[in-house]
Amino acid sequence: MTGLTAYVLYPEAPADLAQAFAGSDGIKPSPTGQQATVSTPSDFRVELTLGERISNPDLAADGSLSLMHQRVMPVVAGHQATLKLTADPELPPASQIRALCETIAMSNPLTDAVVWLPQRHQATTLVLFVGELSEDPARMYFWVHASGTADGGSVGTVRGLDALGATNIQIRHPKATAQALFNALREYASGLLRKGGLPTEGAEVSFAGQSWLAKADVDVFTGTPLLGLVSPDAAEEPATQAPAADAAATDAPAADAPTQAPAAEVAPAPAAAPSNAPVAEPAPTPEPATEPAPVEAPPAEAAPAPEPDLDPTAAPAPDPTPEPVSEPEPAVAAAPGAPALAAHDPAADGVAWYVLLADVPPTLGHVMNDLMPNYAQHLIEEQATTGEVPYEDQQAALHLTLQGPVPELPEHAAAVRLVARPLDGGSPSVANQVLLQGAISSELAKIPAARGIWIPDQERLLTDPSAFGNGAPIEFAVHQSTGPDGATVHYTRGLRRFGGKDVSIAAAPGVTPPQEQLLSHAVATRLAAGRVPQAGETGEVATRDLTATFRDAPDPRTGEPALAIELGKRKKFLGLF
């Protein structure tokens, strides 16, 4: 059993743990290298590991939900190091959360660092995270996400309560702005934690001067079960209104075209869009907070925090409606009861990703049911084999097509083709389009019928979608071959999509780190900085005593123009490093 975890992402790598906690009076990592176990002011143990950057679709998805996504996403894409914090699994969940938060609050507030708590889908800036705890220590146990809806109302979610053994809360308000609902829910959740009265299913609670009934519901952004607070008058009719774009509070997209996903179910994806959310100034370290009262036996009516002044006069959020995607002409003969599928189109292979399926589902909706259940039901009713998921803040849409099998790939009967394209007037970066495809492909690949992910321009067939979460780069692939002289050579695939040349590296005598690691690190650092490798550039590799110089060279497999890495010894300065 492992404890709860949290991460701090650094745009620039600290030299060691001592630098990561420089200036802290309460936490002194010992040893001060890359790993240590520390004690918090509340005498809880936390394990620290300072490591390299991580590539995880869940991180990108959670970052796009952040109110600070315009600051968070560049760090998610380009961070150089990660501090992993692991709580003592012997502690109660509330104490584990407190231990993680106390440790983060006492770390060095390095510029632009990002905090990620995966168990509650939260990613935010380190400065804002510490500032929130200083303002109200109860906020260490939850966070609030809110969005406007297309009818001018809003939907808000309190996340993190499930880690305490309770249930997350969601409310759809017909009149309040997203910002007003965000503020009200934050105060409401803090009040409930202080008084120990969290609602349970069937309870009638008071919120914002109204009575609400707690019913089983699902998180409109992640699809996970939670409690929905609904008006008793509407309790028999489940709410179906999708969130719409509301720049004041969130970046959730909106759409209502026939084959487009409602914004309530658009799976979060990487983004870097503007936001009106204020940036908190660095705040002092919070005083240790008392843990929330037990939640095993809440009262039937939970006492609310002071009633918020919700603003019912906000203008409706814009409701852009992109054109629906027309279905292609059937080209693959179908078995009885199965749909006629479009044939594989090799022309799309330069930009498409494919999720391979063991059998032919009746519709695209049957593949997407776990990811976007409401939208999937719409596709099933329409018997659709194509769909479109718009992401307005990313200025892109993801087009999905249920098609026939990809020739020459084994053990599959059909595939879902995913292509990211700019929305009208949009200009999304190639990196964001690739991250979008990777995040959704990884989710679709979790269904039982999935047999893997095929990325043609990377020449990569993934049978385990968790590879991205385990550190494999999502933007390019590294392959191994044998050069003309019989030596091992590693080379990339996927950089041409970014407008660059693929890169290779040959085995070098006396070099300890694996060539694959050196190549991957050298290329990833350039992509993280928003550029591709160029001939003549010299940069870092995954070891301090070597440098990498990119030289023009033929591709080891095709002979086409490419680049090769030439390793050199880093010059020492006065023998110090």
Q: How confident is the model at residue 545 (pLDDT cuts 50, 70, 90)?
A: low
Question: Which amino acid is residue 146, in one-letter code?
Answer: A
Is 329 in a helix, a strand, or coil? coil
pLDDT given for residue 316 in this prediction:
34
* pLDDT value at 453 more than 50: yes
pLDDT for 390 equals 82
Q: What are 463's two structure tokens?
A: 């049978």
What pLDDT shows up at residue 510?
Answer: 57
> What was the pLDDT predicted at 492?
96
pLDDT reading at 69 higher than 70: yes
How many CB atoms are closer than 10 A to CB 379? Answer: 25
Upstream peptide bond of 336 is cis (omega within 30 degrees of 0)? no
Q: pLDDT band at 417, cuts 50/70/90?
A: very high
The four Cα atoms 375, 377, 380, 384 give a dihedral, to 10 degrees, of -10
**Backbone phi and psi for residue 532, each to the nearest 5 degrees, phi listed first:** -105, 160
pLDDT over 80 (residue 9): yes
Residues 6+ apart with CB under 8 A from 206: 212, 301, 302, 303, 304
CB atoms within 10 A of CB 346: 11
Query: Which amino acid makes up residue 91?
Result: L
Q: Lowest-confidence range among 189-193, 314-318, 425-429?
A: 314-318
Give me the amino acid identity at 189: A
The per-residue pLDDT for range 222-280, each reduced to its tens digit, is 778 999 998 766 544 333 333 433 333 333 323 333 344 444 344 444 333 333 333 33
**Residue % of the chain over a pLDDT of 70:** 74
Q: Is 544 exposed, middle or buried (0-12, 13-18, 19+ CB in 10 A)?
A: exposed
What residue spans define the domains of the chain? 5-137, 142-252, 346-463, 477-569
**Banded model confidence at residue 3, pLDDT cuts 50, 70, 90:** confident
- Residue 232: how many other CB atoms lie within 10 Å: 11
What pLDDT, on a 0 to 100 scale, did the predictor assign at position 345?
A: 87
| Residue 418, pLDDT score | 96
CA distance 230 to 238: 9
For residue 457, the tally of other CB atoms under 10 A from its CB is 18
Cβ-proximal residues to 62 (8 Å cutoff; 6+ apart), any chain? 116, 118, 121, 122, 123, 268
Q: What is the pLDDT of residue 1?
A: 63
Lowest mean pLDDT among 154-163, 365-374, 412-421, 563-572: 563-572
SS3 420: strand
Reported confidence tier of residue 147, pLDDT bands at 50, 70, 90: confident
Given a cut of 90, whether residue 416 has pLDDT beyond it is yes
* DSSP for residue 575: T
Task: Give 366 or 472, the one with higher predicted confidence.
Answer: 366
- Which pair of tokens denotes residue 236? 């028999």
pLDDT, greater one: 278 or 428: 428
Lookup result for tokens 């009040």: 191
**pLDDT value of residue 22:** 80
The least confident of 53-57, 89-93, 365-369, 539-543 is 539-543
Between helix 57-65 and helix 69-78 the angle, nearest 10°, is 160
User: What 8-state DSSP symbol labels residue 483?
Assistant: -
Name which of 71-80, 108-117, 151-160, 254-263 the model is least confident about. Answer: 254-263
Q: Rounded to 5 degrees, what are φ and ψ at 268?
A: -55, 145
What is the edge-to-edge ordering of all strands in the sheet holding 122-125?
35-39, 45-52, 81-87, 5-10, 114-117, 122-125
Q: Taking 50 as the threshold, does the pLDDT of residue 281 lie above it?
A: no
Averaged confidence pLDDT in the chain: 76
pLDDT given at position 544: 56
> In the predicted model, what is the mean pLDDT of residues 64-90?
86
According to DSSP, the residues that pair with 250 across neighbouring strands are: 246
* pLDDT of 379 over the 50 cut: yes
From residue 200, give the alpha-carbon distance in Å to each of 195, 270, 293, 296. Answer: 15, 34, 15, 10
Least confident of 271-275, 406-410, 469-473, 488-492: 271-275
Q: For residue 355, list its beta bridge partners.
A: 416, 453
Using CA atoms of 218, 221, 224, 227 in order, give the dihedral in degrees to the nearest 10: -40
Rounded Cα distance between 546 and 19, Å, is: 23
